[in-house]
Structure 1
Amino acid sequence: MKSINKSNGFTLIEYMVAITIGLILLAGVGTFFLGMQKSSQAQNGISELQENGRFALYFLTNEIQMAGWKEPDFIIGASTPNYIDLTGTSDGGAANVSDSLQIRYESDVDCLGNAAAGGVATNRFFVEDGQLKCGAGGASQPIINGVEVAHFLYGVDTDRDNTPEKYVTASQLAANPVEARQVASVKVILLLASDTNVADTNTARTFTILGEGEFTANNDRKLRRIFSSTIFLPNRPKYLGS
């Protein structure tokens, strides 16, 4: 009789070894995927902050540098200074309370694109509901999201050399009419937060806001960063004396 060749199957041990190797490979792929996802979230959060911060400073720089601009024969208003409008400029008084800044300049339209009354744009910048906004004529529109606080300090040029000798708050400026006519620059300080969670665990961080003290952020996983810039005022009026 002819012998019958029997094919040998896998043993239970071999099955177990194969399954174990498969699970190890699957765990490695899962860990790699989670790591890539986490890295992508972090990069998105950083990019989001940088883009928002750059745009906010760019927008504010363009606007603030317009403060006081007018044609030689155009009269913006009887009150001085007319470039930093103290009627709409306020000091939050604490690091966790935002300031506001209002400027005026000759223009047919305001920051909302609406017709400016009397040919003078009166634009106010402030924070509301986590958004940096521009307001004019009783209306407003957001500029960027994710703004925790915004602060403005004013560089006072006391000796008329076009270089500020000190920086003061809006409250200090309002209390000193002489220095209110000597503002040569505005220092903008913005604290921005990412829209999405980035950190692995909740962290309560403290930020130093120049001229305002310490700001303690929420205990969460968001990424935060301070953006600041000093903006000089090329259109400020000549020194008006005391």
Structure 2
Amino acid sequence: MNIKHQNGLSLIELMIALSLGVVISLFLINIMASSNRAAINSEGSSEATENGRFIAGWLTERFRIGGYSSEGTNLEIPYADTCAAANILPPAPNANCSFDDDNSTTTGGDKVVTLRTIDTSASDATYSSACDGTDLSGLPDGTVVADIFWVEQNINSINDDDFDDVLYCSTYNHTTGIQLSAAQVIANGIEGMQALYLEDNRPNGNETAPTIAGLEYRNASNVVNWERVSGLKFSILTRSFNDSTQNVLQRSYILLDAAPYTYSDRVVRNIQQTAVFPTNIDK
């Protein structure tokens, strides 16, 4: 009578199997963690980019109507002069002036002020409304209004708040300096805005001097004659709404002529830059 003996796993074989299992498990966990980090980073980058593109497009349309004049009026200056006093913001009276501020870590950057006239006969309600859509059709046609755009950082005094870096707008009567619409939040997640103005100092106008000599981008503080400004270039810095999308590292972002915007966190940011030429100003 033959007796067959069935041997089980030896201790060594069991240890090898367990070791292989642990190695494979760690490998799979690492792959999953890397994929998760990549997905989160991609999502954060998409948020910052999408937000930046939307706001850059919206600002482009608002800056492009600078200098718009209704029939029978003459407005050739698309953007307002700089503030005579300190940098002031709505709701302060006479805040309808530009200013240049490169101390980006505390102020959010420059303030851009677009000038235009009220035109109730226009088919587009934009020309009879404030920058936030407030109806201004009660004002006489030809009234010069100033649309003010600026960024404020950490409005809630919480540095890690995703939603307290804000782009605002407000509209003023440019002649009286009286505010016509309250400061309105346009978008969150905007950490900075910088602008340079294209000043045309070519002799005798562009028709007789069709060259680039005499054309120069300048910040608001260095513009010599605002009547000769024929466009601007602006740059904005946007962030994702998730503050843990990448490894902690000090990163700097340079917007035009400003001091670097420097952060040491895990937030993905994006820079959008665009040149704008008002449609009714000769260039």
- TM-score bracket for this pair, using the shorter chain length: 0.7 to 0.9
Listed as ranges, the matches of 1:15-30 within 5 Å are: 15-30=14-29
Task: Pick the aligned partner of 2:115 from 82, 104, 123.
Answer: 104
Instruction: Name the CA distance, whole Å, in 1 between partners of 2:43 and 2:73.
Output: 47
Residue aligning to 1:166: 216
The residue that corresponds to 1:144 in the other structure is 187
Pair 1:125 & 2:149 matched: yes
Rounded to whole Å, the distance in 2 between the matches of 1:166 and 1:70 is 25
TM-score normalised according to structure 1 size: 0.80
Comparing both chains, which one has the higher relative contact order based on Cα–Cα distances under 8 Å and sequence gaps of 6 or more?
2
> What is the alpha-carbon distance in structure 1 between the residues aligned to residue 97 and residue 181 of structure 2?
12
Deviation at 1:38, TM superposition (A): 1.0
The reply to whether residue 85 of structure 1 matches residue 80 of structure 2 is yes
Aligned residue in 2 for 1:134: 169
Cα pair 1:131 1:147 within 8 Å, conserved = yes
State whether residues 114 and 148 of structure 2, in contact with CA within 8 Å, keep that contact through their aligned partners in structure 1: yes
Which amino acid in structure 1 is aligned with residue 59 of structure 2? L
Q: What is the SS of the residue equivalent to 2:147?
A: strand
Residue 199 (str. 1) matches residue 246 (str. 2): yes
d(CA) in 1 for partners of 2:149, 2:231: 16
Cα distance in 1 for residues equivalent to 2:135 and 2:181: 13
Matching of residue 228 in structure 1 with residue 237 in structure 2: no
What is the CA distance between 1:70 and its match in structure 2? Answer: 2.8
The Cα shift of 1:206 comes to 3.2
| Unpaired stretches in structure 1, ≥5 consecutive residues | none
SS in 2 for 1:217: strand
> Are the equivalent residues in 2 in contact too, given 1:95–1:209 (CA < 8 A)?
no
Q: Secondary structure at the match of 1:88?
A: coil
TM-score by length of 2: 0.70
Distance 1:49 1:88 in 2: 29
Instruction: Name the % identity.
Output: 23
- 1:153-200 Cα offsets, whole Å, 9 max, x none, are 111112332867112222233xx4xx1111100110212333333332
SS in 2 for 1:115: coil
Please point out which of 260, 263, 268 is paired with 1:218: 263
How many Å separate the matches in 2 of 1:23 and 1:141? 57
Residue 155 of structure 1 contacts residue 165 of structure 1 at CA under 8 Å; is this kept in 2?
yes
Q: Unpaired segments of 5 or more residues in structure 2?
A: 82-95, 119-126, 154-164, 172-179
CA distance in 2, matches of 1:155, 1:75: 21
Asked if structure 2 preserves the Cα contact closer than 8 Å seen for 1:111 and 1:135, the reply is yes
Report the Cα distance in structure 2 between the residues aligned to 1:207 and 1:43, rounded to whole angstroms.
19
CA distance in 2 between partners of 1:75 and 1:65 (Å): 17
> Partner letter of residue 130 of structure 2?
D
Tell me the residue number matched to 1:94: 103
How many residues are treated as equivalent by the alignment?
Answer: 227
In structure 1, C-alpha distance between the alignment counterparts of 2:10 and 2:183, rounded to whole Å: 75
